[in-house]
Structure 1
């Protein structure tokens, strides 16, 4: 009966995987990345690379599967992004023809969900499957940032980029530590009517068609105890190498594939009391190593319009996560957390990133879970990302004299619900 249940569950996971890998999702709160995975971690600001309390935790550290039994968790939710902007530009490249445009994004609501299943292969090893968001971002402006500069009001207004990940992973306990390895399989889509993208191509607009691309990477992790109350975790995820864009966007809107950058994630979890656990994590994201993301954009007023190596000028990002988990009773757990990462976009690149306004820095989170039987649990998490504002400072390029004073504002809020079942 138990084996039959496992087969049935695996079939359900396969069906969900096909559905999610076809749909995708758009989310960007730490740059182009989500700030957390699953209700347990999202309630704690994303912290918990050393913990291992739910099947989706393998998405941040594949070694955590060795801490878990036979279990699965489904997370489903929604978040709202409120994005506004102000663009200063020129109709002909001169200060005399300077234009000013107020902008507001009509793309506000986004689904958010993930699924994790963990199987014990033996007392010391496990197999895990995770399906969930990889990276993303979306904006549809009501006005064009370049209106009048060889563009209409309906060009250079939108970009939607989203990826979904499938990660099978294996974890084993050996020499007093947990070790994990996973393969990250990615499906992504991009659609945009961007004007020259990062200003590295010819006089070209994206036509708004959807380009689908695939990629892969790997994930390594370890988790170990310094003593019975202090737990450590460390994970490295390689870049997710995506294939080239189709001819619609390749070397026109984008100068290279939009790879997802490499990440290093480390943390400690301390059982301060029998009921209270405090977790602190650091994550380093290497945005600067991805050509399309990290290379500097070309100067808009210097002809020709740059070269095929130009990008969006993002910097590497360090993310700080702090979370607490408190077992109020044997059945009820409360969580809270904070997450901060400086914007990877420099002030001097604000206008260039109006179609990818990933400037949010702070996240305040809460969460809770409630056992409804000995092996079933319901969960909840929510976050508030207060408004971040970034203004073009008029440095670096000649074009910045035209775009100085442009600004972006971005805030978010969202929630997730979860169901966990140990079997």
Structure 2
């Protein structure tokens, strides 16, 4: 009963907390402090009760345990316009200079909780619950260039509740499934001029949004959805394990308050993703693990469509961020220094989902980071209790593109982002 109360309290807290700007697009590099300390690996190397967020098959290998942690994110996101950049004002009948640098960092630090609990039904079956933030997008520009208004920004939050079941098919193979019950929230501010912008070449009075009143400045809108993740782990040799996992596209209710912004009347589904991984016990004290993950951003119209895909904001094929699907490569090592201390390090490299042809709208979502260096450690503070830590440095990256001339711009824009993360988790084996 106490575990149920703790899980409920964390869930309510998680909904109330803001989400950070994640760094494999808008996905997190990993889904627990231990995993993140190794570059986000975990498909074939489960370490705690957040394993179901990566591969639910791993839950049967971790025993009875509870993990609770928090991570503090500090992203830096900026937009810089070339010195010759201008924008045309139909009202004034002339162009105005807009060159300069603009910081989208009105909120500088974000806190994201994580929680997991696992219970062994018998030596070959387990049930568990993992609660975690999938990722997020957040920008806030107190100073910004037209057509955006001061205070422009977005806030996307996603919280996963993932009950799981895992079992050992035999001594070498485990399978698992988790039901992903997702709550997400979204807010957009400062887009009035963009939503009401005339569409080049369209009949007079046609604006970029089919419903400008449901396009911006309507507070947070909520939606819910359900998906599933399945996985397998096979122990090929005493020192080598492999794994595979697949998460279905999560079909979400539309954001009704923003049915004039995103395609399909505000629908913002979570893309399918899948991956393979391996874990090699190189020595009794050292494990090396690697994962390759594919995130299918390109299948979600609200994410994948460009700024002028053929229909207006909110319609079936309405505008989006122009993101493409990406691959993510993760490599990590764990070294058991002694009975009490385990050290971790990792590298995470992801493709950049944003190309130079969709630069303007991605001022709201500059998810251009590619490379992450991660460090971590676990210290046993008692026989059945441990503290784990991680640090992530997401190296700065930028994308430069031509501002859209058909909307009255000249010049170029450069989007850049970097990020630091600190996390801590308390784990209890019961």
Common fold: TM-score over 0.5: yes
- CA separation of 1:197/1:80 partners in 2, compared to 1, >3 Å: closer, same or farther? farther
Look up the match of 2:320.
311
Q: Deviations over 1:70-90 (max 9, x none)?
A: 101111121101111124451
- CA separation of 1:307/1:219 partners in 2, compared to 1, >3 Å: closer, same or farther? closer
List runs of 5+ in structure 1 lacking aligned partners. 1-6
CA drift of 1:239 comes to 1.2
Question: Is structure 2 residue 203 aligned with structure 1 residue 196?
Answer: no
The within-5 A match list for 1:315-394 is 315-393=324-402
Q: What is the alpha-carbon distance in structure 2 between the residues aligned to residue 422 and residue 16 of structure 1?
A: 19
Look up the match of 1:415.
422
Q: What is the alpha-carbon distance in structure 2 between the residues aligned to residue 27 and residue 406 of structure 1?
A: 20
Q: With structure 1 as the length reference, what TM-score do the two structures score?
A: 0.90
Q: What is the alpha-carbon distance in structure 1 between the residues aligned to residue 361 and residue 344 of structure 2?
A: 38
Q: What is the alpha-carbon distance in structure 2 between the residues aligned to residue 245 and residue 386 of structure 1?
A: 33
2:12 to 10, 14, 18: 18
Q: What is the alpha-carbon distance in structure 1 between the residues aligned to residue 25 and residue 40 of structure 2?
A: 14
Q: What is the alpha-carbon distance in structure 1 between the residues aligned to residue 408 and residue 241 of structure 2?
A: 52
Q: What is the alpha-carbon distance in structure 1 between the residues aligned to residue 312 and residue 112 of structure 2?
A: 41
The within-5 A match list for 1:33-112 is 33-87=27-81, 88-92=85-89, 96-97=95-96, 99-105=98-104, 106-112=106-112
**Which piece of structure 1 moves more, 61-70 or 192-201?**
192-201
Question: Is structure 2 residue 293 aligned with structure 1 residue 283?
Answer: yes
The secondary structure found in structure 2 opposite 1:114 is strand
CA drift of 1:207 comes to 1.3
The secondary structure found in structure 1 opposite 2:361 is helix
- CA separation of 1:197/1:352 partners in 2, compared to 1, >3 Å: closer, same or farther? farther
The within-5 A match list for 1:392-411 is 392-393=401-402, 398-399=405-406, 402=409, 404-411=411-418
Q: What is the alpha-carbon distance in structure 1 between the residues aligned to residue 258 and residue 314 of structure 2?
A: 16
CA drift of 1:101 comes to 4.5
Q: What is the alpha-carbon distance in structure 1 between the residues aligned to residue 338 and residue 196 of structure 2?
A: 53
- CA separation of 1:236/1:306 partners in 2, compared to 1, >3 Å: closer, same or farther? closer
- CA separation of 1:19/1:304 partners in 2, compared to 1, >3 Å: closer, same or farther? closer
CA drift of 1:402 comes to 2.4
Retained in 1: the 8 A contact 2:17–2:112? no
- CA separation of 1:329/1:303 partners in 2, compared to 1, >3 Å: closer, same or farther? closer
Retained in 1: the 8 A contact 2:330–2:349? yes
Q: With structure 2 as the length reference, what TM-score do the two structures score?
A: 0.88
- CA separation of 1:188/1:331 partners in 2, compared to 1, >3 Å: closer, same or farther? same
**Which piece of structure 1 moves more, 342-351 or 193-202?**
193-202
User: What is the RMSD computed on CA atoms of the aligned residues?
Assistant: 2.4
The within-5 A match list for 1:193-342 is 193=189, 194=191, 195-196=194-195, 200-202=208-210, 204=212, 205-246=215-256, 248-252=257-261, 254-255=263-264, 256-298=266-308, 308-309=316-317, 310-342=319-351
Look up the match of 1:144.
144
Number of residue pairs aligned between Structure 1 and Structure 2: 407
Look up the match of 2:168.
173
- CA separation of 1:304/1:252 partners in 2, compared to 1, >3 Å: closer, same or farther? closer
The secondary structure found in structure 2 opposite 1:137 is strand
CA drift of 1:26 comes to 3.2
- CA separation of 1:98/1:272 partners in 2, compared to 1, >3 Å: closer, same or farther? same
